[in-house]
């Protein structure tokens, strides 16, 4: 295992001709097991397309400060990084970083992150030797930023001198040594990982899902009628809680978002209680960008009361009519926004099980659906066992025998693991 395995590395690419070399840097770091994200300046996109980095890293590439889906992208990225690597670092970028200028996504992220930073300056020799650039480099070094010295050779501008970006293999070796040294200063395991979902948790580093952030939803949503009444369903949350436990036991960092349930929250995972479908939707969306997978086992109410009464409804006529309006389909929305995330859904049916489940898999853009006939004996709500079939995106189907919900949870998490690797 490499010292970079499981590390979150943010590569900042600025607008220099050597930007193309950084594709190999990203590729090597990714192959060594790091989770790599790339931020590019607008000028960098003149040299190389964000799509190239996206393909190489498997992660979205950020360029704009106010992109639609990213509310506070600079903070998300700043928190993500165990290390920020700027390659190539242009004279302009060095100047901005040295003086705290934050006028685009990358420079703002640099200011917002407390992660260690490695800069790889690359430019024309005269620009590099200019006292202004040298002074900026000294400022950055004095703040603990590591600088990989530029190499000498023939530069893109035609002159021979110092200013070339070092070879990708050299940059990666530097990064590897940096983490090796950092790791040697830390206890082997368990290690503390930056949560991303909130507070810091202790996670076993060497388990198969180490470094993965997984959202699990559970329980039934509660749709208010008035301050004392609500519409709910028969879900106890057992299946979802078992999945959360299994994912945690496989090393994942888990955020369990639960509606109404009878279960006790397991330890050492992030737990968020919600009531309505809308609340569950907001809770999931808030962390969707940073997570690697969502397992949606919650029984989300398809409808909510249109006009929730502000006061307790008093008994009056013989009949009472409640008008219901459709709730958002959380999983469908996740399927539309999906980038790198693996999505697993459930189909709880009482008839035409496989046909309905397959349709849901397609319509919600899922990677796998767990189909279960909730009317069958030994399956469904409030029992400890379940009978399920897994339908995969490629059409493969697995029919599982009746098993306990904890065993089924284990099987689901194993399939998830296979989809990651």
Active site residues: 157
Please tell me whether residue 348 binds ligand CTP under the rule CB under 6 A: yes
CB burial string 46-69: b at 16+ within 10 A, e below:
ebbebebbbebbebbbbbebeeee
Question: CB under 6 A: which stretch of 58-66, 69-77, 196-204, 328-336 binds ligand CTP?
Answer: 328-336
User: 230 forms bridges with which residues in the sheet?
Assistant: 224
Closest Cα to residue 294, out of 213, 216, 349, 393? 216
- In terms of CB distance, is 18 or 357 closer to ligand CTP? 357
Burial of 160 (0-12, 13-18, 19+ CB in 10 A): exposed
Burial of 118 (0-12, 13-18, 19+ CB in 10 A): buried
Please tell me whether residue 330 binds ligand CTP under the rule CB under 6 A: yes
Q: Binding residues for ligand CTP, how many (CB under 6 A)?
A: 14
Contacts 24+ apart (CB under 8 A), 311-319: 311/226, 311/227, 312/226, 312/227, 312/228, 312/229, 313/225, 313/226, 313/229
Smallest gap from residue 305 Cβ to ligand CTP (A) = 15
Residue among 22, 83, 216, 298 that touches ligand CTP (CB under 6 A): 298
Please tell me whether residue 296 binds ligand CTP under the rule CB under 6 A: yes
Please tell me whether residue 327 binds ligand CTP under the rule CB under 6 A: yes
What are the start-end ranges of the H helices in 9-124?
22-31, 44-47, 50-57, 73-80, 91-99, 105-112
Binding pattern for the stretch 350-379 against ligand CTP, x by CB under 6 A and - elsewhere: ----------x-------------------
Smallest gap from residue 198 Cβ to ligand CTP (A) = 22
Smallest gap from residue 70 Cβ to ligand CTP (A) = 22
Question: Taking the CB of residue 245, how many other CB atoms lie within 10 A of it?
Answer: 22
Residue among 163, 237, 240, 345 that touches ligand CTP (CB under 6 A): 345
User: 373 forms bridges with which residues in the sheet?
Assistant: 349
Binding pattern for the stretch 253-282 against ligand CTP, x by CB under 6 A and - elsewhere: ------------------------x-----
Smallest gap from residue 275 Cβ to ligand CTP (A) = 14
CA distance 220 to 298: 6
- In terms of CB distance, is 116 or 224 closer to ligand CTP? 224
Q: In the complex, which residues of this chain contact ligand CTP (CB under 6 A)?
A: 277, 296, 298, 300, 302, 327, 329-331, 345-348, 360
């Amino acid at each position: 295992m490499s010292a970079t395995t499981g590390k979150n590395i943010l590569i900042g690419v600025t607008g220099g001709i050597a930007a193309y070399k950084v594709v190999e840097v990203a590729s090597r770091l990714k192959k060594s097991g790091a989770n790599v994200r790339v931020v590019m300046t607008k000028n960098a996109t003149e040299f190389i397309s964000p799509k190239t980095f996206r393909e190489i890293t498997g992660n979205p590439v950020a360029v704009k400060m106010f992109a639609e889906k990213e509310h506070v992208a600079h903070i998300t990225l700043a928190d993500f990084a165990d290390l920020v690597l700027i390659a190539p670092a242009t004279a302009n970028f060095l100047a901005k970083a040295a003086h705290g200028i934050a006028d685009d996504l990358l420079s703002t992220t640099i200011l917002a992150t407390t992660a260690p930073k490695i800069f790889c300056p690359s430019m024309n020799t005269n620009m590099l030797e200019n006292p202004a650039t040298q002074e900026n480099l000294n400022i950055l070094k004095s703040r603990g930023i590591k600088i990989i010295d530029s190499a000498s050779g023939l530069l893109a501008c035609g002159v021979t001198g110092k200013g070339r970006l070092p070879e990708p293999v050299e940059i990666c070796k530097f990064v590897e040594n940096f983490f090796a040294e950092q790791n040697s200063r830390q206890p082997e395991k368990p290690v503390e990982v930056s949560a991303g979902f909130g507070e810091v948790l202790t996670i076993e580093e060497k388990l198969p899902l180490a470094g993965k952030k997984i959202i699990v939803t559970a329980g039934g949503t509660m749709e208010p009628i008035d301050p004392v009444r609500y519409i709910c369903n028969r879900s106890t949350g057992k299946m979802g809680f078992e999945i959360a436990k299994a994912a945690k036991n496989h090393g994942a960092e888990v955020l369990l978002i639960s509606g109404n349930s009878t279960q006790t929250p397991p330890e050492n995972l992030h737990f968020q209680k919600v009531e309505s479908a809308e609340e569950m939707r907001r809770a999931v969306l808030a962390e969707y960008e940073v997570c690697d997978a969502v397992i949606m086992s919650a029984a989300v109410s398809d409808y909510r009361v249109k006009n929730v009464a502000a006061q307790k409804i008093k008994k009056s006529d013989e009949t009472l009519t409640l008008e219901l309006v459709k709730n958002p389909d959380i999983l469908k929305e996740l399927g539309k926004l999906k980038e790198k995330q693996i999505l697993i859904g459930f189909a709880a049916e009482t008839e035409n099980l496989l046909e309905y489940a397959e349709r849901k898999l397609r319509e919600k853009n899922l990677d796998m659906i767990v189909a279960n006939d909730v009317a069958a004996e030994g399956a469904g709500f409030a029992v400890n066992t379940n009978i399920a079939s897994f339908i995969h995106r490629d059409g493969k189907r697995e029919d599982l025998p009746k098993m306990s919900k904890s065993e089924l949870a284990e099987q689901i998490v194993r399939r998830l693991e296979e989809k990651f690797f």
